[in-house]
Amino acid sequence: MFGDGSLVTAPTRIGNRDFAWGSRTFVMGVINATPDSFSGDGVLDSTLAAERACSMVEGGAALIDIGAESSRPGYQLVSPAEEWARLEAVLRAVRDAVEVPISVDTTRAAVAERAFDAGADALNDINGLREAPELARLLARSGRPAVLMHNQRGREFSGDVIADVRAGLQESLALAERGGLDCTRLVLDPGFGFGWEVSQNLELLRRLGELRTLGRPLLVGTSRKSTIGTVLDRAEGERRWGTAATLALAVRAGVDIVRVHDVAEMAEVVRMADAVVRGWPA
């Protein structure tokens, strides 16, 4: 039973690699195959995407996450056909270029299934299976692991940020189990920036360690987000220092994966924070 207060001990196989949770904080590099990425780094050219992925791996990325539909506030929905048209060439090129595991950032089972066939190793679902429970059955059939995120958009706030995140993630875990999915293959994301006000995002980060009791590894994606821009009065491309501060705090809270745009710089932040928190040499 998950969410019973147990901590993660067993590693998870993602692609060709076993991730030993608690040994270090792993860095996930972001590639947005979209023309409207909030961070202004969208890339639709497959050759450029492959080059970017190689640079990320050289900079310290242990995983690459590729998405083809923006999830920024007010984003424009695209059809599954358009999402796959953006994703296919980029995914195949990145798969040919790097050996690290690749996750596909999608909320649609049809897109995820095609992505798995094209070489993706895992799913990253910003709706935590709540909008598409059939994703759990797909994951169960394919044996792929997944990142399930709590998305607060459109949900009523109870007055307690962590209580809402915990409830949402427990709902996702229940959906996974009902779909026949082995929950030991799941990573949980509290959804920093998805439906929260600035003060609530800061509270979520401040209390992040409380989510360790869910018994699954945690992923956090604070990179370049608007909360950092609001606090520091910085545009999207000027938020590296603010991102670095949030990542150091996340490592201190015991997070297992950080999802970032600026891999080389943030990998150094994470390594330094890990040296303090987890001990050095590793």
* Number of Cβ within a 10 Å radius of residue 1: 9
| Active site (annotated) includes residue 240 | no
Q: Residue 280 and residue 282: Cα distance in Å, rounded?
A: 5
Write out the H or E segment, with its range, that includes residue 54. helix 46-59
Q: Which residue has the tokens 């990542």?
A: 247
Extract the runs of DSSP E, i.e. beta strands, from 53-211: 63-67, 102-105, 122-125, 146-149, 186-189
Task: Determine phi and psi for 135, rounding to 5 degrees.
Answer: -60, -35
Of the residues 108, 225, 239, 240, only one is catalytic, namely 225
By DSSP bridging, strand 63-67 and strand 257-260 are: unpaired
| Active site (annotated) includes residue 259 | yes
Nearest to 98 by CA among 65, 70, 136: 65
Please provide the size of the chain in residues. Answer: 282
Residues annotated as catalytic are: 225, 259
